[in-house]
């Protein structure tokens, strides 16, 4: 396989607060410090994760090649978008977004989240070309409504620069640092994008999402409906594989 594999040491708090969920996985006690080999053993793909051929940015008439796969130990996708088309009436190209998604099976409001960590281990089977990114995408919704109130991204890898007018400063999740970009969309959704502040080759195994959520201060009655890890593709080709993708919510691995 081509490309660099990401496996990194991290610390995990042994204190665990368990909440009821529809899918409960039994976990052994995790050590405070993990070696790279330990991390590989504890990595894995959530049984709740599904792949999605999400081409919302491709207008009618554009041909986009995306292939998805899922096995017991990995999931991934490849893409080819060599001739992107803009939507009628606009002069820019929207990204497509093949991704893996974990839907939360129990409504847990922001105010009841004590800990929330995201874990991934990925490599590029085919080194990407063109303009792309690899990001976590988290949707916060208000109970009783379908529209999301906040979209929170954690960008692990990205080729395109973000507009500096939306830059809000440097933030930390306790282990990693990020540049935060923030704005409101036309439909009233708060958009918060944390860009990892290190080269892609050193992307973290663990992201403390709870710490990042606390810094953007969403309404405590909102809830997270799903967590995605996907590739935004404006143009070009590539392939990515996830041998680790899961989240840990209030001490439970999902």
Residue 116 lies in a domain: yes
- 197: domain CATH number is 2.60.120.180
Average pLDDT over residues 68-76: 94
Residue 87 lies in a domain: yes
pLDDT at 144 over 90: no
pLDDT at 156 over 70: yes
Residue 140 lies in a domain: yes
Q: Which residue has the higher pLDDT, 27 or 79?
A: 79
What is the percent of the chain with per-residue pLDDT over 90, rounded to a whole number? 69
Average pLDDT over residues 126-154: 93
Domain count, the chain: 1
Residue 112 lies in a domain: yes
The region of weakest confidence among 18-27, 108-117, 209-218 is 18-27
What residues make up the domain containing 195?
A: 36-253
Residue 167 lies in a domain: yes
Please report, for residues 7, 76, 95, 96, 118, the alpha-carbon distance to residue 232 in angstroms, rounded to integers and kept in the order given.
Answer: 22, 14, 5, 6, 19
pLDDT value at position 13? Answer: 39
| CB hemisphere CA count around 228 (13 angstroms) | 21
Residue 162 lies in a domain: yes
Residue 10 lies in a domain: no
Q: How far apart are CA 60 and CA 81, in angstroms?
A: 14
Average pLDDT over residues 69-73: 92
pLDDT value at position 72? Answer: 87
pLDDT at 31 over 50: no
Average pLDDT over residues 163-171: 94
SS3 labels along the chain? CCCCCCCCCCECCCCCCCCCCCCCCCCCCCCCECCHHHHHHHCCECCCCEEECCCCCCCCCCCCEEEEEECCCCEEEEEEECCCCCCCCCCCCCCECCEEEEECCCCCEHHHCCCEEEEEEEEEEECCCCEEEEEEEEEEECCCCCCEEEEEEEEEEECCCCCHHHEEEEEECCCCEEEEEEEECCCCCEEEEEEECCCHHHCCCEEEHHHHHHHHCCCCCCEEEEEEEEEEEEEEEEEEEEEEEEEEECCEEC
Q: How far apart are CA 140 and CA 219, in angstroms?
A: 9
Please measure the distance between the N-terminal and C-terminal CA atoms of the chain and give it in whole angstroms. Answer: 28
Residue 13 lies in a domain: no
Tens-place pLDDT, residues 15-27: 333 333 333 222 2
pLDDT at 1 over 80: no
Average pLDDT over residues 66-89: 94
> What average pLDDT does the structure give for the chain?
84
Tens-place pLDDT, residues 225-246: 999 999 999 999 999 999 999 9
């Amino acid at each position: 396989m081509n490309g660099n594999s990401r496996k990194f040491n991290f610390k995990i708090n042994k204190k665990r607060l368990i909440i009821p969920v529809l899918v409960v996985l039994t976990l052994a006690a995790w050590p405070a410090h993990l070696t790279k080999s330990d991390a590989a053993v504890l990595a894995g793909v959530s049984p709740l994760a599904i792949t999605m051929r999400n081409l919302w940015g491709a207008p009618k008439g554009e041909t986009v090649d995306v292939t998805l796969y899922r096995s017991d130990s990995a999931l991934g996708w490849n893409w080819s978008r060599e001739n992107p088309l803009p939507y009628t009436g606009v002069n820019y190209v929207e990204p497509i977004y093949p991704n893996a998604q974990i839907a939360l099976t129990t409504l847990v409001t922001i105010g009841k989240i004590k800990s929330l960590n995201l874990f991934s281990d990925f490599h590029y089977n085919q080194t990407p070309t063109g303009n792309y990114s690899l990001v976590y995408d988290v949707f916060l919704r208000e109970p009783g409504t379908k529209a999301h109130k906040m979209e929170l991204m954690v960008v692990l890898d990205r080729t395109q620069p973000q507009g500096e007018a939306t830059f809000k400063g440097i933030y930390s999740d306790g282990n990693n640092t990020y540049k935060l970009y923030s704005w409101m969309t036309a439909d009233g959704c708060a958009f918060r994008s944390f860009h990892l502040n290190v080269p892609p080759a050193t992307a973290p195994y663990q992201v403390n999402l709870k710490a990042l959520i606390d810094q953007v201060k969403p309404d405590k009655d909102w809830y997270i409906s799903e967590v995605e890890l996907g590739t935004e593709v404006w143009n070009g080709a590539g392939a990515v594989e996830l041998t680790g993708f899961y989240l840990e919510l209030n001490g439970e691995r999902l």
